[in-house]
Structure 1
Amino acid sequence: MSLYRAETRRLVKRRFTKVLAIGCLAVLAALVVGTLLTNQKVGPEAVAAARAHADEDYQNALRETEQQQQACVAAQGTDQAPNFPANCAEITPPNQEDFKYEWYMPATFSFRTNFPEMMFALAGILAMGAFVIGASFVGAEWSSGGMMNLLLWRPQRQRVLGTKLAALLAGVGAFTVVVSAVWTGVFLVVAELNGSTEGMTSGAWQSIMLLELRAVVLVLAAAALGFGLASLGRHTAVALGVTVGAIVVLQFGLATVLVLARVKFIEAYLIPVWAQAWLDKQVRLEDYESCDFSATRGCLPDTLTITWQMAGGVLAAVLVLVVGAAMWTIRSRDIT
């Protein structure tokens, strides 16, 4: 049996891999059920009820404004006058446009509008699972001595580690593609039952497919990152410890320091923003403590746009650093 087939079989047969994969699927299933139960199909009756509710609130606001105006006039020259504006004409009635009927509509699942959010959830859950599986896949062998025994049989160190990584990525990639396809189909059914599939043009489908492709890449990157960290530390706990340290120290701690230092665009130093930019094509950050003056629109906050190309470059650099270091160090490190 070839090394690649042996590693693929070991990945699939591992109990930890099965348990974690089932756990991820259970969380995703709960999300589907929750979405199905909290949304409903919207018909003409729901639209009419929403319009009536919006008009009722508008009429109530008009009556309240009229009562406030009358109370303001009656309070002039009394000890109640400070409770109202000096000029009662400043109490103006609301506009009917301020009571849009769309705000009163029941929750409904629009596939074109809401499915990208579901893909973000899928990518996040599978990426976390892939990271742990990748770390455990190689970390368990280092800590149990299995890697030492394997290298006695196959002394090509880099080839062995590279084959393990290839088997991991192939397995995780296949699983992610299948789950992503099923995920799309399931939410199409949800949209048909309790929502709408309107607006799904060829361009909209192309955008969905590209989003799913970026989600697959993110999951594969998480698996490779966990694999590289565990290989460097020769233990699954090292990868998990580095991750916890990065979240607690480099994220929460760094964010606190940056807030105290009044650094602009604090979110740009945090990992979730880069992941969001990769999936959502771009993220636009605003610094409300600055002023970019415009002659026509006044004082506007400074902005910083993080594109998916920028996020992809950072992701690639991290992977090259971690996985490259793992491949380099195994060349000469003691394996005992």
Structure 2
Amino acid sequence: MNGINLNLKQEIQNKPVWIIKQTFHNSYKEGIREGFAKLTCRTDNSGRKQNWILEEKQGIEYEQEVLVDLILKFKILFCFKMSQKKPQMQVEQKVPENIVKKNARDTKLREAVAKRRTERLAANKTRRAQWEKTAQAYENEYKAADKNLVDSLRKAKTEGGFYVPAESKLILVVRIRGINTLNPQVRQTLRLLKLRQLHNAAFVRVNKATIEMIRKVEPYVTYGYPSRAVIKNLIYKRGYAKINGQRIPITNNNIIEQSLGKVGIHSIEDLVHEIVTVGAHFKEANRFLWAFKLRGPRGGFIAKRRSFINQGDWGNREDLINDLVKRMI
């Protein structure tokens, strides 16, 4: 027991805690082996059984003494070791300068992108509200015009007269024949009317020049006066923009605003209104639209080589052009 305690200080001096734990563990086992060695030697005397029990108790007491003594010393030395433990130095990790600059640049770019996005969303919200307001104003205008027409017809009927509406300022021309046996002059006229392919359709303002052009190509086209609903359906369903010579689908109002914003046309409703009313900027609006590519009419044509007034297809249909176009959209 004493030999163990004398050597214990030398074994644990200036050593880590885990070595101190191992030293105490080994010392404890040596103390137990020493106690049982004494117990075994003393069992050889006379009165063997009685001495065995007595020495066994002494051996157990000796084991407990060794254990208690070692635990107390371990606690004292462990606390001493922990008090003498040097605090760890906190080493500041330096970030490379290029990483610092990159992080600052990325942060600045993210802030700029977020700012632009916020401004864009706010501007889009404002413009969307303006577009809805404009569309509602146009709708009220159309309803007022329809009501005025109905009132005029009723008034004329009441007075026993007739009411003749104003002639349409707009013609919708549809090409119904191909390129076989075409006169070069006719072919050039069809190109001027934007009717380069079969079943192409285009809007034409009514004036003396356009009437002469239509008469020149009349056996190859059919035309009439489109309604507001047909004009709207054509632009919404078959409308494409001509931008830098390319055919671009009209998917949002930004496309229209970028090309026609300078003439006051900012949305598709503005475009429809300009075509329907044949406004001051009809030329720019009609030039912006690519020729409408329609399909063959459901049910087919009757007779392309005869005029419409002779139970055929080509020629002037007036308001009946709407029925044909509805079958071709």
TM-score when normalising by structure 2:
0.25
- Per residue, is there more helix in 1 or in 2? 1
